[in-house]
Amino acid sequence: MTDFLPLFPLKLVAFPGEELNLHIFEPRYKQLIRECEQNGTTFGLPAFLDNEVMDFGTEIELIKIVKKGSDGSMDIKTRGLGIFKIHEYYSIISDKLYSGGDIKRITGNENGDPLLYFKILDLTEQLFEYLSIKKDIPNDRADFSTYEMAHHVGFSIEQEYKFLTIGDELNRQEFMVEHLENLIPIVKDMERLRKRVEMNGHFKNIIPPV
Protein backbone atom coordinates (compact mmCIF):
# COMPACT_ATOMS: atom_id res chain seq x y z
CA MET A 1 0.00 0.00 0.00
CA THR A 2 1.32 3.45 -0.91
CA ASP A 3 0.69 6.98 0.37
CA PHE A 4 0.86 10.26 -1.49
CA LEU A 5 3.60 12.68 -0.45
CA PRO A 6 4.49 16.12 -1.83
CA LEU A 7 8.09 16.05 -3.03
CA PHE A 8 10.92 18.57 -2.81
CA PRO A 9 13.88 17.12 -4.79
CA LEU A 10 17.29 18.55 -3.85
CA LYS A 11 20.90 17.88 -4.79
CA LEU A 12 21.62 16.46 -1.37
CA VAL A 13 20.85 13.46 0.80
CA ALA A 14 19.03 13.93 4.10
CA PHE A 15 18.87 11.26 6.80
CA PRO A 16 16.35 10.35 9.52
CA GLY A 17 16.93 12.41 12.65
CA GLU A 18 18.90 15.07 10.77
CA GLU A 19 17.96 18.69 11.34
CA LEU A 20 18.16 20.60 8.10
CA ASN A 21 17.91 24.36 7.57
CA LEU A 22 16.52 25.39 4.19
CA HIS A 23 16.02 28.70 2.38
CA ILE A 24 12.77 28.56 0.40
CA PHE A 25 12.38 31.00 -2.49
CA GLU A 26 10.82 29.18 -5.47
CA PRO A 27 7.02 29.68 -5.82
CA ARG A 28 6.30 25.92 -5.91
CA TYR A 29 8.13 25.28 -2.65
CA LYS A 30 6.78 28.39 -0.96
CA GLN A 31 3.33 26.92 -1.67
CA LEU A 32 4.41 23.54 -0.31
CA ILE A 33 5.81 24.94 2.94
CA ARG A 34 2.76 27.15 3.51
CA GLU A 35 0.55 24.05 3.24
CA CYS A 36 2.79 22.12 5.63
CA GLU A 37 2.53 24.98 8.12
CA GLN A 38 -1.24 25.27 7.78
CA ASN A 39 -2.08 21.55 7.76
CA GLY A 40 0.72 20.04 9.83
CA THR A 41 1.70 17.80 6.91
CA THR A 42 5.09 16.45 5.87
CA PHE A 43 6.93 16.35 2.55
CA GLY A 44 9.50 14.13 0.92
CA LEU A 45 13.05 15.07 0.07
CA PRO A 46 14.35 12.70 -2.61
CA ALA A 47 17.92 13.13 -3.84
CA PHE A 48 18.29 14.74 -7.27
CA LEU A 49 21.38 13.18 -8.87
CA ASP A 50 22.56 13.23 -12.49
CA ASN A 51 19.53 15.36 -13.42
CA GLU A 52 17.16 12.69 -12.15
CA VAL A 53 14.84 12.34 -9.16
CA MET A 54 16.04 9.24 -7.34
CA ASP A 55 13.73 6.54 -6.02
CA PHE A 56 14.68 6.86 -2.34
CA GLY A 57 14.32 9.87 -0.07
CA THR A 58 13.63 11.03 3.47
CA GLU A 59 10.29 12.19 4.81
CA ILE A 60 10.66 15.66 6.34
CA GLU A 61 8.68 17.50 8.98
CA LEU A 62 8.58 21.28 9.28
CA ILE A 63 9.77 22.33 12.72
CA LYS A 64 9.67 26.08 12.42
CA ILE A 65 9.60 28.96 9.96
CA VAL A 66 12.42 31.11 11.29
CA LYS A 67 12.09 34.07 8.93
CA LYS A 68 9.72 35.28 6.24
CA GLY A 69 10.83 37.73 3.57
CA SER A 70 8.72 40.43 1.93
CA ASP A 71 8.90 38.38 -1.30
CA GLY A 72 7.43 35.32 0.42
CA SER A 73 10.78 33.57 0.82
CA MET A 74 11.34 31.65 4.05
CA ASP A 75 14.14 30.31 6.19
CA ILE A 76 12.91 27.09 7.78
CA LYS A 77 14.06 24.42 10.20
CA THR A 78 13.16 20.82 9.39
CA ARG A 79 13.82 17.32 10.70
CA GLY A 80 14.16 14.01 8.88
CA LEU A 81 11.68 11.33 9.93
CA GLY A 82 12.10 8.14 7.91
CA ILE A 83 13.00 6.64 4.56
CA PHE A 84 10.60 6.15 1.67
CA LYS A 85 10.72 4.75 -1.84
CA ILE A 86 8.85 6.39 -4.72
CA HIS A 87 6.59 4.02 -6.63
CA GLU A 88 5.08 6.63 -8.95
CA TYR A 89 6.46 10.13 -9.50
CA TYR A 90 4.23 13.01 -10.65
CA SER A 91 6.06 16.05 -11.97
CA ILE A 92 2.73 17.87 -12.25
CA ILE A 93 -0.12 17.69 -9.76
CA SER A 94 -3.54 19.20 -10.48
CA ASP A 95 -3.87 22.72 -8.97
CA LYS A 96 -0.41 22.48 -7.32
CA LEU A 97 2.90 24.01 -8.32
CA TYR A 98 5.06 21.32 -6.72
CA SER A 99 5.63 17.68 -7.63
CA GLY A 100 4.59 14.61 -5.67
CA GLY A 101 4.59 10.86 -5.63
CA ASP A 102 3.03 7.68 -4.38
CA ILE A 103 5.51 6.40 -1.83
CA LYS A 104 6.03 3.46 0.47
CA ARG A 105 7.70 4.05 3.82
CA ILE A 106 10.67 1.77 4.44
CA THR A 107 11.14 0.04 7.77
CA GLY A 108 13.97 -2.26 8.76
CA ASN A 109 15.95 -3.64 11.66
CA GLU A 110 17.42 -0.68 13.55
CA ASN A 111 19.50 -2.79 15.95
CA GLY A 112 23.20 -2.65 15.17
CA ASP A 113 26.22 -4.50 16.52
CA PRO A 114 27.64 -2.61 19.56
CA LEU A 115 31.18 -3.67 18.63
CA LEU A 116 30.79 -2.17 15.16
CA TYR A 117 29.67 1.12 16.71
CA PHE A 118 32.94 1.17 18.66
CA LYS A 119 34.86 0.40 15.48
CA ILE A 120 33.10 3.14 13.50
CA LEU A 121 33.95 5.78 16.09
CA ASP A 122 37.56 4.59 16.40
CA LEU A 123 38.01 4.76 12.62
CA THR A 124 36.31 8.16 12.46
CA GLU A 125 38.64 9.52 15.12
CA GLN A 126 41.60 8.28 13.07
CA LEU A 127 40.19 9.97 9.97
CA PHE A 128 39.68 13.26 11.83
CA GLU A 129 43.20 13.09 13.25
CA TYR A 130 44.81 12.65 9.83
CA LEU A 131 42.69 15.46 8.40
CA SER A 132 43.18 17.74 11.44
CA ILE A 133 39.41 17.97 11.86
CA LYS A 134 37.82 18.82 15.18
CA LYS A 135 34.21 17.67 15.33
CA ASP A 136 32.01 16.27 18.05
CA ILE A 137 31.13 12.60 17.70
CA PRO A 138 28.64 10.60 19.81
CA ASN A 139 29.73 10.21 23.43
CA ASP A 140 28.05 6.84 23.90
CA ARG A 141 30.15 4.55 21.76
CA ALA A 142 27.59 1.75 21.81
CA ASP A 143 24.32 3.62 21.39
CA PHE A 144 23.92 5.82 18.35
CA SER A 145 22.65 5.53 14.79
CA THR A 146 24.89 5.34 11.75
CA TYR A 147 22.68 8.07 10.28
CA GLU A 148 24.27 10.46 12.80
CA MET A 149 27.70 9.84 11.26
CA ALA A 150 26.77 9.63 7.58
CA HIS A 151 27.72 13.24 6.75
CA HIS A 152 31.00 13.03 8.67
CA VAL A 153 32.89 10.03 7.29
CA GLY A 154 33.84 11.34 3.87
CA PHE A 155 31.06 9.82 1.78
CA SER A 156 30.53 11.27 -1.69
CA ILE A 157 26.93 12.26 -2.39
CA GLU A 158 26.58 9.06 -4.43
CA GLN A 159 27.79 7.03 -1.47
CA GLU A 160 25.40 8.90 0.82
CA TYR A 161 22.54 7.97 -1.49
CA LYS A 162 23.59 4.32 -1.58
CA PHE A 163 23.82 4.40 2.22
CA LEU A 164 20.28 5.80 2.36
CA THR A 165 18.94 2.84 0.40
CA ILE A 166 20.29 0.30 2.94
CA GLY A 167 17.34 -0.65 5.12
CA ASP A 168 19.13 -2.60 7.86
CA GLU A 169 21.33 -0.97 10.52
CA LEU A 170 23.83 -3.83 10.64
CA ASN A 171 24.33 -3.56 6.87
CA ARG A 172 24.75 0.21 7.21
CA GLN A 173 27.41 -0.37 9.86
CA GLU A 174 29.30 -2.78 7.62
CA PHE A 175 29.05 -0.36 4.67
CA MET A 176 30.46 2.47 6.81
CA VAL A 177 33.29 0.38 8.26
CA GLU A 178 34.35 -0.80 4.81
CA HIS A 179 34.32 2.77 3.52
CA LEU A 180 36.44 4.05 6.42
CA GLU A 181 38.91 1.17 6.17
CA ASN A 182 39.38 1.97 2.46
CA LEU A 183 39.57 5.74 2.94
CA ILE A 184 41.96 6.01 5.89
CA PRO A 185 45.04 4.52 4.13
CA ILE A 186 44.49 6.97 1.23
CA VAL A 187 44.27 9.93 3.61
CA LYS A 188 47.29 8.64 5.53
CA ASP A 189 49.36 8.50 2.33
CA MET A 190 48.21 12.02 1.42
CA GLU A 191 49.38 13.25 4.82
CA ARG A 192 52.80 11.66 4.27
CA LEU A 193 52.96 13.32 0.84
CA ARG A 194 52.02 16.69 2.32
CA LYS A 195 54.82 16.45 4.85
CA ARG A 196 57.32 15.49 2.15
CA VAL A 197 56.25 18.45 0.01
CA GLU A 198 56.61 20.77 2.99
CA MET A 199 60.16 19.54 3.47
CA ASN A 200 61.16 20.45 -0.10
CA GLY A 201 63.44 23.52 -0.11
CA HIS A 202 64.52 23.01 3.51
CA PHE A 203 68.13 22.35 4.42
CA LYS A 204 68.63 18.71 5.36
CA ASN A 205 71.37 17.00 7.29
CA ILE A 206 72.45 14.30 4.89
CA ILE A 207 74.65 11.52 6.25
CA PRO A 208 76.65 9.88 3.46
CA PRO A 209 76.23 6.07 3.26
CA VAL A 210 80.01 5.62 3.29
Per-residue model confidence as pLDDT tens digits over 171-206: 999 999 999 999 999 998 887 777 776 665 544 454
Mean pLDDT on 143-148: 90
The CATH architecture that domain 3-106 belongs to is: Roll (2.30)
What integer pLDDT is reported at residue 203 of this predicted model?
Answer: 46
Per-residue model confidence as pLDDT tens digits over 4-47: 999 999 999 999 999 999 999 999 999 999 999 999 999 999 99
Q: What is the mean pLDDT of the chain?
A: 91
CA dihedral 92, 98, 99, 104 (to 10 degrees): -140
What is the spatial distance between Cα 182 and Cα 180, in angstroms, rounded to a whole number?
Answer: 5
- In the chain, what percentage of residues exceed pLDDT 70? 93
- Helices 157-164, 169-199: inter-axial angle, 10-degree rounding: 160
What integer pLDDT is reported at residue 207 of this predicted model?
Answer: 56
Q: Where in the chain is the domain with CATH 2.30.130.40?
A: 3-106
